Structure 1
Amino acid sequence: MKFLLAVVLLLHGPFWGFDLIVVDARAYPPVSSGTQVGIKEHHQMDPNKNLLVPLIVASSALGAILLSLLCLWIYHRKNSLKSHQKNAYISDSLKGLSLAPFMSTNNSLRLSCNKGAALVMDYKLLETATENFQESKILGVGGFGCVYKARLGENIDVAVKRLNGGSPDSAREFETEVALLSKIQHPNIISLLGYSIHGETRLLVYELMQNGSLETQLHGSSLGSALSWHHRMKIALDTARGLEYLHEHCKPAVIHRDLKSSNILLDSNFNARLSDFGLAITDGTQKKKNIKLSGTLGYVAPEYLLDGKLTDKSDVYGFGVVLLELLLGRMPLEKLGPAQCQSIVSWAMPQLTDRSKLPSIVDPVIRNTMDLKHLYQVAAVAVLCVQPEPSYRPLIKDVLYSLIPLVPVELGGTLTVAPPAVPRSG
């Protein structure tokens, strides 16, 4: 537009100069030497008036050029807006949420999530990025769908959760996840990069966590071999920090309701982030509505399972089970027979408080690699977290403070680890 304004100024400049000449000519006093003299002076001005024709022609040409440029600009702008609107998908199910402007394919690559808004992303872009949701791209399988690895652009890797079907539970979990994660920003909580809706298919796009879930690391093919004692304590500390943010700093407080090792994701440096907030609720909601019993057996607190009582101490119980997994390397539930299971809590409780037995039940991968005083302290924290009576369990902030001194400084704690002694030569 600056260019068009400059053209207009150049176009109208000659007319202003010409008008001043005409006005000045009329302002001269009348000549008293008779009519013939007046006619003669009139003829003397003809050369100036003859400039009018070429000026009009030049102005018309410039006007035509200007009009053409203006038409081209309007046409380009109109097509750009059509292209922008073509790639937007609008969902009535998300009315009331704070939504960012609908993004075109090019703008979808700007992966940033503003607090209080979720980024709407182009479905076709995500379909292409997952190679049409190819089976080889699956990272994991959940209750309502699969999580796929996807690549946006040349070097942006993300995880795409695909929720299929239009069931009320699926739609509710999707809306809860978008509403919560679009407002939460914390280094130990997964980042929601965007979402997309296409018919009954809903997509959630997260940052990619290169080391998968804690469940896969502990109970997968590697059986925890990549996780040293200090890294396990770092994961426990990160998880406690994420929960402490939800319980203490969110207003109202958020109860995760499905804390388990498969919902703790690990990046390339084994930094842990809480994920899967589809079942999360705000504190107080359970008092106003009849909340459906949800969660995963082995992690669900007994008072919630038996009586439907749900508080932040329910998350603390789930954290205690995860801490036992990190300590013992065992599954939360193990089959004893066709219809019989044993929980890690009931199996470990009698031995966790016996200092003579405790070292022998620790995961063989990390056995004898830690200071025994630290081992006893972690076992004591785990025992408190899984107490049957919720009032006996600590607040998550107390758990956090007890773990900080057990994690090396370089991993986010306050523990100073002495370098290994150099053997003397000779």
Structure 2
Amino acid sequence: MLLKSLLLFLVFQVCTSRDTIGSSQVQLKDDGGVLESKESNFELGFFSPGDSSYRYVGIWFSESKVSEKTVVWVANRNNPINDTSGVLKINRYGELALYAYNLENDPIWSTNVSQSVQNTSTLCVQLLDTGNLVLSQEGENESFIIWQSFDYPTDTLLHGMKLGLNWKTGLEWALTSWRSQDDPGTGDYTSRIYNQNASTPQAFVYKGVTKYWRADLWPCPDFVSNPDEMYYLNNFRTHNTDLIARIKLQDSGLYQDLKWDGADHKWKEVWSTPKYRCDWYGQCGANSKCSPDNINLFECECLPGYEPKSVDGWNQRDGLDGCVSKRVGVSKCRNGEGFVKVARVKYPDTSKAARLRTSMSAKECEQECLRNCSCKAYMSLASEGLVDCLTWYDDLMDILIYTEVGRDLHVRVDKISLAENAGNSQGFFRKGMVLIPMLSALLALMLIITLAWLLQKKRKTKDFVEEDELEESKRHPELQFFDLNTLIAATDNFSDANKLGQGGFGGVYKGELPNEQTVAVKRLSRTSGQGIDEFKNEVALIARLQHRNLVKLLGCCIKGEERMLVLEYMPNKSLDFFLFDNTRRSFLDWEKRFDIINGVARGVLYLHQDSRLRIIHRDLKTNNVLLDAEMDPKISDFGMARIFQGDQLQTNRVVGTYGYMSPEYAVFGRFSTKSDVFSFGIIILEIVSGKRNNGSYDENHSMNLIGHVWQLWNEDKVLEIVDSSLESYRPDEVLRCIQVGLLCVQEDSKDRPAMSAVVFMLSSEASLPSPKQPAFVFRRSSSTEADPLIPKQLYATNDLTITNVEAR
């Protein structure tokens, strides 16, 4: 015991308790040692899962609490170590980092802290009794949390953890399953909060990008939504502080609530989902309901006023095609229509054009839906004495019939269906009724069926134009697909009065949806250089990205030759609209410009590192940086973006915008994250100077903005480049931005910093490295009339030209 105490004292010499790692001299090695929380609830150390021989750093319940090893968090889940050479320590950059073999190599994993750490000796890593691993810095009177593992969950939610989104930082709290019991790497299933409609929050489990299961969180006392955050708080200890429990997303997609049974020494399931066929998302398709109590019968049934889209499918007990309106030719708009109640339901998916209105009675809610011909259904919600109204304007998805709980959904039906349902429920069709009205109704019904058959026959001639829409809707079921007529009405038939801008892809129009939401509709021109493949690429990428500095995709429309994206509306247009206009640039003071630089940097860092998909944008420029009502920046236009896994990609088709392309991409077709870094450097220099990079800045018209800044930098006169419209600015911040910009546009991509380093450099006061020769200093070679953006030296030594260039 004396020897053990002495060893603990020597290992943890700065932070003296057994739950902490202190200065950079203190290490946790893969030799059996662990960090143990103060009350021995959790341990941190190295482990090998199941039958695997790979080594990981993880957190698990202490054996004093749980007799079987239960891992709740993994650091290097996608980067295992092959042997026991691993070392966990605080490095000289103020990061908690995992190294293998020796400390000179790049870390296997790190906390990647982006904020400045001035004195690493005041840093401390502590394993708390909640299971949270915290990296903090000790101040004079208090400590500050720099990083915590609760912000980066793996497959488990412990008490006090969140599932949701931080609006300010763009940080998302989500669960991702393991690949298998032997492999903690990122698996197929993800649990996250869907944030399109914060007033009616929902949690989804996705299999890849496909919705697998949905939970409604409204009303829920543990759900929080405010201007800063939106999240569900795991708060199972409210009534039992001694409870040992966890929520786990299994590698099979099963979502489990588990508690530890100390008497039987095993985990017991409190609940789990999806278990039954009706639990799976959209089991019965659109406009249907799923009844799990129908044990011996088909569980799917169409909503009132609807019939199966595929009779053969339903006969074979397959309802995925869902239901469609019974009578196509009968209007539901001010034509005697009404509502039929469907009792005790899990309310439909609110991401499908739902809208919540507060303080509205049940009757007012009905009238609100009845007034809008696009309203498909409504639900009057009562909670804690308040009555609200929820309405839907699209297909009704994922409706489950409960036995006892649930709420009443009122579905809009035509007048014939309304009469049918009234008759079925009230004995309307009974003996003694007059025969003539029945015959009249029968004749009318036959006429309607004939008309519907003719319409259906006409529609079949156009089925081929809808194949793309069906294909995309299957690939991206989380997206809302808008009807073409809805967008035509929203934009006043794409009138010039609603036109926001024009690009190589086509026009962008302001529109107002039936639920009064203002949107931007990006309409792909038939002669667009973007093309169908780029359009589908943009849909695929933006649908999976969520960050406060990225433009949000609300949905799309694919109809015949029409291709449209429906995006959040950005009232202040693009950055170049202000930056390069002599009058409007005065709206951008230095504080706002610095905020824009940092916002764009965070957005690019998210694309490169923090998103579920690692993405290279390939077309970063000032007119692809849009500004919201608060003039905060959001990156847009992902038509040219690419997913990457390695260090570098190659293409024979160079696309992008002259003036922002990196040299290795423009000349050789090689692009990587450093290509985006180069473009970001151009954006910084343009924001500081208020000038375009492809302008002329010397008497011979041969030097561009990069060359001009580089010349002034070498002459120690670089502040002369600052936009003259800026009345005041902080010279130190401006100098730092210029230096970061020059570091980003260095000719050799290996010399350019990663975006994580860029974010750190912009926010710190630490000294920066000196930039090397930038690329594209000259606009034109003296010996050739080739492209003006290719460096002079490339022509002189290699005699290269660009082929297959598509500029925008």
TM-score where L is the length of structure 1: 0.68
Structure 1 residue corresponding to 2:690, chosen from 317, 329, 332: 329
- Alignment partner of 1:362 is 2:722: yes
Q: SS at 1:140's partner residue?
A: strand
Against the structure 1 CA distance between its residues 121 and 6, is the aligned structure 2 distance closer, same or farther, given a 3 Å change threshold?
Answer: closer
Task: Give the match for residue 258 of structure 1.
Answer: 619
Q: What does residue range 129-148 of structure 1 map to in structure 2 within 5 Å?
A: 129-148=490-509
- Alignment partner of 1:226 is 2:597: no
- Alignment partner of 1:390 is 2:749: yes
In the TM superposition, what is the alpha-carbon distance from 1:200 to its structure 2 partner? 1.6
Q: What does residue range 193-212 of structure 1 map to in structure 2 within 5 Å?
A: 193-212=554-573
Against the structure 1 CA distance between its residues 394 and 199, is the aligned structure 2 distance closer, same or farther, given a 3 Å change threshold?
Answer: same
Against the structure 1 CA distance between its residues 361 and 287, is the aligned structure 2 distance closer, same or farther, given a 3 Å change threshold?
Answer: closer
Deviations 1:214-238 (A, max 9, x none): 0111013525110111100111111
Task: Give the match for residue 518 of structure 2.
Answer: 157
- Are the equivalent residues in 2 in contact too, given 1:333–1:341 (CA < 8 A)? no
In the TM superposition, what is the alpha-carbon distance from 1:170 to its structure 2 partner? 1.2
Q: What does residue range 115-130 of structure 1 map to in structure 2 within 5 Å?
A: 117-130=478-491
Q: SS at 1:162's partner residue?
A: strand
Q: What does residue range 96-115 of structure 1 map to in structure 2 within 5 Å?
A: 97-99=472-474
Amino acid at match of 1:358: V
Higher strand share: 2
- Alignment partner of 1:347 is 2:708: yes
Q: SS at 1:363's partner residue?
A: coil
Quick one: distance in 2 between partners of 1:184 and 1:206? Answer: 13
- Are the equivalent residues in 2 in contact too, given 1:158–1:205 (CA < 8 A)? yes
In the TM superposition, what is the alpha-carbon distance from 1:151 to its structure 2 partner? 2.3
- Are the equivalent residues in 2 in contact too, given 1:166–1:200 (CA < 8 A)? no
Quick one: distance in 2 between partners of 1:9 and 1:225? Answer: 68
Amino acid at match of 1:375: V
In the TM superposition, what is the alpha-carbon distance from 1:175 to its structure 2 partner? 0.5
Amino acid at match of 1:299: Y
- Are the equivalent residues in 1 in contact too, given 2:551–2:568 (CA < 8 A)? yes
From the CA coordinates, give the structure whose radius of gyration is larger: 1
Q: What does residue range 252-331 of structure 1 map to in structure 2 within 5 Å?
A: 252-284=613-645, 290-331=651-692
In the TM superposition, what is the alpha-carbon distance from 1:251 to its structure 2 partner? 4.2
In the TM superposition, what is the alpha-carbon distance from 1:260 to its structure 2 partner? 0.1
In the TM superposition, what is the alpha-carbon distance from 1:211 to its structure 2 partner? 0.9
Quick one: distance in 2 between partners of 1:91 and 1:97? Answer: 10
Structure 1 residue corresponding to 2:734, chosen from 375, 378, 397: 375
Against the structure 1 CA distance between its residues 394 and 293, is the aligned structure 2 distance closer, same or farther, given a 3 Å change threshold?
Answer: same
- Are the equivalent residues in 2 in contact too, given 1:303–1:309 (CA < 8 A)? yes
Quick one: distance in 1 between partners of 2:655 and 2:422? Answer: 67
- Are the equivalent residues in 2 in contact too, given 1:233–1:403 (CA < 8 A)? no
How many residue pairs align between the two structures? 344
- Are the equivalent residues in 2 in contact too, given 1:173–1:279 (CA < 8 A)? yes
Quick one: distance in 1 between partners of 2:487 and 2:478? Answer: 19
Structure 2 residue corresponding to 1:237, chosen from 593, 598, 616: 598
- Are the equivalent residues in 1 in contact too, given 2:648–2:670 (CA < 8 A)? no
In the TM superposition, what is the alpha-carbon distance from 1:91 to its structure 2 partner? 3.8
Task: Give the match for residue 772 of structure 2.
Answer: none
Deviations 1:131-184 (A, max 9, x none): 222223221111121111222247432111111217784111111111111111
Amino acid at match of 2:431: S
RMSD: 4.1
In the TM superposition, what is the alpha-carbon distance from 1:284 to its structure 2 partner? 4.6
In the TM superposition, what is the alpha-carbon distance from 1:208 to its structure 2 partner? 1.0
Deviations 1:56-109 (A, max 9, x none): xx97359x9xx99x99xx99xx999x99xx9x9974335654559xxxxxxxxx
In the TM superposition, what is the alpha-carbon distance from 1:334 to its structure 2 partner? 1.1
Task: Give the match for residue 92 of structure 1.
Answer: 467
- Are the equivalent residues in 1 in contact too, given 2:465–2:561 (CA < 8 A)? no
- Are the equivalent residues in 2 in contact too, given 1:256–1:280 (CA < 8 A)? yes
Deviations 1:108-136 (A, max 9, x none): xxxxxxx9622111212212222222223
Q: SS at 1:397's partner residue?
A: helix
- Are the equivalent residues in 1 in contact too, given 2:651–2:670 (CA < 8 A)? no
Q: SS at 1:189's partner residue?
A: coil
Quick one: distance in 2 between partners of 1:9 and 1:284? Answer: 60
Amino acid at match of 1:231: K
Q: SS at 2:482's partner residue?
A: coil
- Are the equivalent residues in 2 in contact too, given 1:217–1:224 (CA < 8 A)? yes
Amino acid at match of 2:604: L
Amino acid at match of 1:387: Q
Quick one: distance in 1 between partners of 2:470 and 2:655? Answer: 25
Deviations 1:280-306 (A, max 9, x none): 011159977744101111100011111
Task: Give the match for residue 399 of structure 1.
Answer: 758
Q: Which has the higher contact order (CA 8 A, sep 6+)?
A: 1
Amino acid at match of 2:692: M
Quick one: distance in 1 between partners of 2:480 and 2:508? Answer: 19
Against the structure 1 CA distance between its residues 353 and 376, is the aligned structure 2 distance closer, same or farther, given a 3 Å change threshold?
Answer: farther
Against the structure 1 CA distance between its residues 296 and 364, is the aligned structure 2 distance closer, same or farther, given a 3 Å change threshold?
Answer: same
Q: Which runs of 5+ in 2 are unaligned?
A: 1-339, 342-418, 766-808
Amino acid at match of 2:726: I
Quick one: distance in 1 between partners of 2:582 and 2:493? Answer: 28
- Are the equivalent residues in 1 in contact too, given 2:697–2:705 (CA < 8 A)? no
In the TM superposition, what is the alpha-carbon distance from 1:186 to its structure 2 partner? 1.1
Q: SS at 1:225's partner residue?
A: helix
Task: Give the match for residue 60 of structure 1.
Answer: 431
Higher helix share: 1
Aligned structure 1 segments of 4 or more residues deviating by more than 6 angstroms: 1-11, 285-289
Quick one: distance in 1 between partners of 2:515 and 2:424? Answer: 44
In the TM superposition, what is the alpha-carbon distance from 1:275 to its structure 2 partner? 0.2
Task: Give the match for residue 291 of structure 2.
Answer: none
- Are the equivalent residues in 1 in contact too, given 2:695–2:704 (CA < 8 A)? yes
Against the structure 1 CA distance between its residues 340 and 370, is the aligned structure 2 distance closer, same or farther, given a 3 Å change threshold?
Answer: closer
In the TM superposition, what is the alpha-carbon distance from 1:198 to its structure 2 partner? 3.1
Quick one: distance in 1 between partners of 2:424 and 2:505? Answer: 61
- Are the equivalent residues in 2 in contact too, given 1:126–1:150 (CA < 8 A)? yes
In the TM superposition, what is the alpha-carbon distance from 1:212 to its structure 2 partner? 0.8
Amino acid at match of 1:123: L
Amino acid at match of 1:92: E
Task: Give the match for residue 105 of structure 1.
Answer: none
Quick one: distance in 2 between partners of 1:353 and 1:162? Answer: 46
Quick one: distance in 1 between partners of 2:743 and 2:632? Answer: 25
TM-score where L is the length of structure 2: 0.38
Q: SS at 2:563's partner residue?
A: strand
- Are the equivalent residues in 1 in contact too, given 2:511–2:518 (CA < 8 A)? yes
Against the structure 1 CA distance between its residues 168 and 138, is the aligned structure 2 distance closer, same or farther, given a 3 Å change threshold?
Answer: closer
Quick one: distance in 2 between partners of 1:296 and 1:10? Answer: 68
- Are the equivalent residues in 2 in contact too, given 1:286–1:310 (CA < 8 A)? no
- Are the equivalent residues in 2 in contact too, given 1:320–1:383 (CA < 8 A)? yes
